[in-house]
Structure 1
Amino acid sequence: MPITSDISPSTALTIQISAVAIWLGLVFLASDILRRLKQDPELVRKVVHIGTGNVLLIAWWLHIPTWLCVTAGVTFSAIALASHYTNILPMIHDVGRKTYGVFYYALSITILVVLLWDSHPQYAVIGVMVMSWGDGMAALIGKRFGKHTFVHLGNKRSVEGSVAMFVTSLMVMIGIFGLTHGIHTRDIGIAMPVAAIAALLEAYSPGGTDNISVPLSSAALSYVLQSIF
């Protein structure tokens, strides 16, 4: 049952928008504090990366309507694209490289919401959460503990980071399946190949395109496999 089911539509909408705004405010406040404390820029960027991804989980919980999610996605996509050329949000810029990764990230969220929010929102959440948490942990673990590195099309990755991506993606999907219908053995069998493909795409997608290839493929493949099994 929607958390806002017993109140008026206008009040529900106010609560929904306020909850998302408060969360995003906390995310950007945390990132700004870390930046001012001169913490690792990669850590600052991943705080934003993971934090903004969690917005879709909040939107799912609050049953935020499709039109509002699409509007927010389009707006953030425009801001992300503008930030590629200006300094609107310095904490979301790529570290040491100039790509359209943040724009792809926002675009992937918008696409998933448009395609799935009305009928199968859990798969949109899977796609975004795999990208936000999986990629975030891959970068942080890889930078801290990555000893076995490889380079593909100019992107440096590590085996340790890819393992972190796989494990985190697996945990995210099992958790969302659990929230949706309870955890069954088949869910683990479905989550494993999806997590493996997500890890491969994160490692080998060039120029920040993993921010669109990972969420779209994770959502699509998990939906197809769930439909089959």
Structure 2
Amino acid sequence: MSSLLPFFPSPPSEFATIALVSSYLLVIVVLAEGLNRLSHTTAEFTRKIVHIGSGNVILFAWWLQIPLWIGLGASFVASLVALVSYFVPILPSLNSVGRQSLGTFFYALSIGLLVAGFFPQLPYYGVIGVLVMAWGDGLAALVGQRWGKHKYRIWGNGKSWEGSLTMLGVSFAVTLAVLIGVYGNNGILWVVAGLVAIAATVLESFSNFGLDNLTVPLGSAGLCFYLMSWWGMSL
């Protein structure tokens, strides 16, 4: 399996991997829940903390070269927790009761699908899909809510140009950084990153009911893989 950064001379044990990833996710959830319950931080802001923070777990999967069963098992557990939290207010930082979105569930599901589709042979495409969603969509939502003054609507889905431009820029930067880390700098990679960023922004704009948490990561990873294959650079 390719690795972006050689942090580990050899893969750690499965127990150590599970412990590290679980500890990281627990810290993210506890931090978000603490802010949600003990401060005036909005539920939407704490959801984005979990959204961005949990997405980074895909980097652990890559760097630690986790076995496939761990990635799929973690996705299943996260999907189950997201569904339960949607109906029962156990974790407001994930979902609020009555919020008409299964986005957190789709997010966990998309990670599992990308792990199943690209790990262990081509993990970086899965990484691109998840990080585009985690950082691109997460920061776009925060920017749009805080500074989004120029609104537009698509199929009843309210967005802002400020948020969409953030999505475009962050998606481009994330995709390009991963590709350069794997292949080295190449002009083709800039074109691929640009096309992936445009596609991710369009998918994020059109999706309702949290479906962007499924369409954006799968679409970004799939398009990146297709374009790199078309240019003979997928391996």
Which residue of structure 2 lines up, in the alignment, with residue 215 of structure 1?
217
Aligned to 2:124: 122
Q: TM-score normalised to the size of structure 2?
A: 0.90
Normalised by the length of structure 1, the TM-score is 0.92
Runs of 4+ in 1 over 4 A off after TM superposition: none
The whole-number CA distance in structure 2 between the counterparts of 1:56 and 1:95 is 28
CA distance in 2, matches of 1:205, 1:84: 19
Shift of 1:180: 1.5
**Offset at 1:14?**
2.2
Instruction: Please say if residues 86 and 96 of structure 2, whose CA atoms lie closer than 8 Å, have aligned partners that are also in contact.
Output: no
Matched, 1:143 2:145: yes
Superposition CA RMSD, Å = 1.8
Give CA deviations for 1:102-134 in whole Å, capped at 9, x if unaligned.
Answer: 111111111111111122111011100000100
CA deviation profile, 1:158-199 (whole Å, cap 9, x unmatched): 011000000000111111112212222111100101101101
Measured in 2, the distance between the counterparts of 1:207 and 1:143 equals: 18
Q: In structure 1, what is the equivalent of residue 3 of structure 2?
A: none
Deviation of 1:86 (Å) = 1.3
Q: Which runs of 5+ in 1 are unaligned?
A: none
Q: Which moved more, 1:158-167 or 1:110-119?
A: 110-119
The aligned amino acid for 2:41 is Q
Distance 2:45 2:92 in 1: 13
SS at 2:214 equivalent: helix
Mapped contact 1:94–1:101 kept (Cα < 8 A)? no
1:71: how far off?
0.7
Given the superposition, is the C-alpha separation of residues 94 and 151 from structure 1 closer, same or farther in structure 2, using an over 3 Å criterion?
farther
1:60-209 matches, within 5 Å, as 60-93=62-95, 97-209=99-211
> Secondary structure at 2:181's aligned position in 1?
helix
Distance in 2 between the 1:22 and 1:175 partners? Answer: 26
Q: What amino acid is aligned across from residue 145 of structure 1 in structure 2? A: W
Q: 2:10 aligns with which of 5, 13, 16?
A: 5
Query: What does residue 20 of structure 1 align with?
Result: 21
Note the residue ranges of structure 2 that are not aligned, 5 or more in a row: 1-5
1:95 and 1:59 map into 2 onto residues whose CA distance is 31
Deviations 1:42-98 (A, max 9, x none): 211100000010001111111111111001111111111222211232111169832
**Would the aligned equivalents of 1:169 and 1:195 in 2 still touch at CA under 8 Å?**
yes
Distance 1:195 1:220 in 2: 12
Alpha-carbon distance between aligned partners in 2 of 1:61 and 1:119, rounded to the nearest angstrom: 13
Partner Cα separation in structure 1 for residue 96 and residue 196 of structure 2: 26
Letter in 2 for 1:27: I
Partner of 2:52: 50
Letter of the 2:20 counterpart: A
3-state SS of the aligned residue for 2:152? strand
Higher mean displacement: 36-45 or 47-56: 36-45
